[in-house]
Amino acid sequence: MCYAITMKDEKIEKLGEKLGKIFQSEIEIDFDKNLYCPYYFVSGFSFPDLPVVIEDKIKLYKWGLIPSWVKDEKTGNELRSNTLNAKSETAFEKPSFRKAIASQRCIVPINGFIEWQTLDKEKQPYFIKPKEADIFLVGGLFDMWVNPDTGEILNTFSIITTDANPLMAEIHNSKKRMPLILENKNIDKWLDKRAAKEVVQSILMPLEQNLMSAYKISKQVNSSRNNRNIPDILNPIDVLPAEEQLSLF
């Protein structure tokens, strides 16, 4: 699954410039820039506000999707721990996601993500990042929920996951999952809310492993008692040579 990510561009304008070059069009920042907080480590279970791209705008949405049909705040809060991720294989059928995957797809730009390898009873964290780029473009789903008691509008999103590629299967060896990382050629198709189901399904594939890089980081990231939102948390403790990164062991 994908529950911990890095989004460390210190200024949202910098992210907008990067995305504009990738999308080959101007990307509008559609929220108060003072609300943006960069992260070296952020857990989805803290339901953070993160930048997402919807059509040609960067918006600030909360991680943990609350479907529009949820009737009360208690149900919404209980549900969102289970909607941080949406499995690509079942998203078209699950009530929480089927409306969103049909026409409410977004992109979540991240610098990388953290995943754990299970060895006996130990969990070794790895940082996974693009090999030759600054950011991954992760496929997401979004929805808008209105609190019936207060009228407050809550915009939320979920990250799509797929089967793991061979690199991620060795790292995330307990679940063998990974986020849906989009290639540039699929950006327009993914954001097109009129795209046919067959087109969307054709995109739900794991990224090729040779486009990804991975290295071990400190086990300090395993405990929420530690301050994990610091630059040093991403320092490598055992850098793999490039020729070995496609076969970790």
Cβ atoms of 33 and 13 within 8 Å: the answer is yes
Q: Chain-wide mean pLDDT for the chain? A: 93
Give the pLDDT score at 239. 52
Query: So what's the pLDDT on residue 117?
Result: 96
pLDDT band at 10 (very low <50, low <70, confident <90, very high): confident
Tens digits of residue pLDDT in 160-186: 999 999 999 999 999 999 999 999 999
Look at residue 241 and tell me whether its pLDDT is greater than 80.
no
Backbone angles phi, psi at 146, to 5 degrees: -110, 120
Scan for tokens 């060896």, then name that residue.
173
70-80 residue pLDDT tens: 999 999 999 99
pLDDT at 121: 84
- pLDDT (tens digit per residue) in 207-240: 999 999 999 999 999 998 899 999 999 999 965 5
* pLDDT band per the 50, 70, 90 thresholds, residue 135: very high
Q: What is the model's pLDDT at position 1?
A: 77
Quote the radius of gyration of the chain (alpha carbons, Å).
Answer: 18
Q: What local confidence, expressed as pLDDT, does residue 246 receive?
A: 45
| CA gap 198, 237 in Å, rounded | 43
Q: Which CATH superfamily is domain 4-238 in?
A: SOS response associated peptidase-like (3.90.1680.10)
Domain residue ranges of the chain, discontinuous segments joined by +:
4-238
d(CA 64, CA 221): 21
- pLDDT, position 167: 97
Residue 43: CA atoms inside 13 Å, Cβ hemisphere, count? 11
Which two three-digit tokens encode residue 100? Answer: 């969103």
| Helix spans in 32-146 (H) | 73-80, 98-103
Q: What is the pTM of this model?
A: 0.93
